[in-house]
Structure 1
């Protein structure tokens, strides 16, 4: 039995496995690009180490695509075979990842909460709890799960960044900025803390400050995975869009957003779609880029990892006039809604389905239908996850459709 860098016991006698675990913890909390590589180093050092296998499964589940989900299963099976031989913390963690793999998100969350009570130094568990709360639109608990372990982690800048994002999502902007700046002062290489402060500045309309803040730290993102690298540059692009500098935004799209994306990554695809749509709503021609991006969406048609993401894919397919793929995805989305477990079903049936109808209608130029479908669901959209900045896109689509039907905008959230 050895301890990891968090001071938590791990059922292994391999120091090489512990070194890999420590590297993985740092990679995961910093959104590093070597996470997959280091976890496989750990597996090579101790193939039967349950926590390493569970980390591998969690890594693949977080990729939100069918191929990665298949990769998660054998690692999870090995971890579950070790359940009677490992510590209480490791058992709980393996069970949380197993629940995630089965889409039993309410059970996964309950276990992560139990882990934070018993083992507040386990920041990987906290991070994954925040992930689930984010895509349930539960901002208060997203903040609370990180805040409650702060007394046990005063020395850890990563947790300050996690708390900062939770504060921002709960509209506690001055506190969020202060926490994000503390994290960055503790370690300049904390991209999630940078991201939290970027949200604050964007919300407060501090556009020039936001550009200066993010661009002054952008050199540290070279070690990030493509998701956070492209997402942080996406935030910079939004600032320039606020300035009306479309040429700069298009240049950033081509060089740092889609240009640096892992083209098969759902999160990278969503960010690129959201930026193209924002540009188009401001009157800029991006038709060729719709064609280029949508070519990578075929694997997404039947996955339905998250309703927030499906709404982006289905718009891009409609806008690129990929009629066959659009038809397949729309039919598959409706079938998925009937099969998903009851805890998640409301997200899909009451919010995602009508919102998808509205997004398709807008993409096809049927603006009255877009208004009719989007208006009732706008007040509920927080329940399908995404940040405030990301969900603002749907309101922009609604406003655009409304303006094209020459209706007053005063009733935006009256439904």
Structure 2
């Protein structure tokens, strides 16, 4: 019998394969660019290891790309045909639920796995990921606090658990706990991107913008070999600059860091959901401030049009709409809404999120672009309380709140503007008057 680095029993053929599994898990937890190659090495070391196929399926699902569902299902079928222990079979059940469009069931299975095996990092981290993108930070906090007693600093992966503790508590407003855990994780490993990211969120929510810029600048030299989470950290850097009204600095980061337009590589820039959200939300925020962004919307719009009908990532839908409307692709914008309406007719948990949150938000973005601000407010107002179900952090969700408050001002709806300001004040200790997206509204209604 073989075990992973956390002491969980593995169905693998050799100690070499067990070490390859640990290497792949470490890459996944630490957001390393070569994680796919690490998984390939594990599969090569032991093609009959069931968790190798499970990981292949889960990694395909992590992309929230409908085109990869077949790959995930194929990996699951291979896993199910292999001998496996009960924990590994539970992982197969979770992947099956995720593929079938019931990620809420997958969350429950991962919770069951970690209840029995608190050091199962694959189950823990997949749960953390999916709970976040389902707008369930309460479940993120509950799970991390349940597993913490089973961990110690001398166990491999402890820093990654601390990093998740940081982000989970940040998203539920426990900033002191969050920052302490994140800084602990970075002290253990300065290259821990998820921990750096969690602390950046704390600094964003508390309005500590200069500290945020220093935090990212100090850690950036450690990020060589990281994956696209680096783009999101640079997006955070741009968010701090946005609040400082350094719009030229924001565009420089857009072009040289998180969208990398100045490189020939930008022509093949991925349409991965988080990269799209980074880019579209930043251009949209700049547009609200009257900053000209040139032709930057074009490549995003091309990717948006190619992905119409792929509704796996609910939060990405209004971002696709931002790109389509910014480039005048009204016919494509109509098709996006039609496809979203069709997907929202289902009777699944995800369909309800599309129906009750993604669709109103995406319609509101389209109305806003057309100057139909009264209709934008009417579309989005009933959904405001449920926007968190789209997934995304408070910092990311803020762009949809800005759609609402901007339309409220332009439609002459001071009551709705005040509503937006009250929501902003409840989410962050920073007064709306000190936040660039809400300052104009605060002055207008005397908030």
With normalisation by structure 1, the TM-score equals 0.95
Match of 2:291 among 270, 276, 284: 284
CA contact (8 A) 2:277 2:316 kept: yes
Structure 2 distance, partners of 1:16, 1:299, is: 42
Structure 2 distance, partners of 1:172, 1:225, is: 28
Structure 2 distance, partners of 1:287, 1:327, is: 24
After superposition, the C-alpha distances for 1:49-75 in whole angstroms (9 at most, x for unaligned) are: 110100011011101112332222221
CA contact (8 A) 1:319 1:364 kept: no
CA contact (8 A) 2:39 2:56 kept: yes
1:391 maps to what in 2?
A: 397
CA contact (8 A) 1:143 1:163 kept: yes
1:273 maps to what in 2?
A: 280
1:58 maps to what in 2?
A: 58
Structure 1 distance, partners of 2:65, 2:16, is: 30
Runs of 4 or more consecutive aligned structure 1 residues displaced over 3 Å after TM superposition = none
1:151 positional shift: 1.4
With normalisation by structure 2, the TM-score equals 0.89
Aligned-pair RMSD on alpha carbons? 1.6
After superposition, the C-alpha distances for 1:282-341 in whole angstroms (9 at most, x for unaligned) are: 1101241111321222332111012111121122112211233222221111111113x4
* Aligned length, in residue pairs: 411
Structure 2 distance, partners of 1:375, 1:413, is: 13
Q: Does 1:254 align with 2:262?
A: no
Matches within 5 A, 1:67-82: 67-82=67-82
Q: Gapped runs of 5+ residues in structure 2?
A: 424-447
Matches within 5 A, 1:21-170: 21-82=21-82, 85-155=83-153, 156-170=158-172
Question: Greater shift after overlay, 23-32 or 241-250?
Answer: 23-32
CA contact (8 A) 1:307 1:352 kept: yes
Secondary structure of the corresponding residue to residue 412 of structure 1: helix
After superposition, the C-alpha distances for 1:163-194 in whole angstroms (9 at most, x for unaligned) are: 01011011001111111111111111111111
Q: Gapped runs of 5+ residues in structure 1?
A: none
Structure 2 distance, partners of 1:208, 1:414, is: 25
1:126 positional shift: 0.8
1:238 maps to what in 2?
A: 239
After superposition, the C-alpha distances for 1:133-159 in whole angstroms (9 at most, x for unaligned) are: 112211111111112111112221110
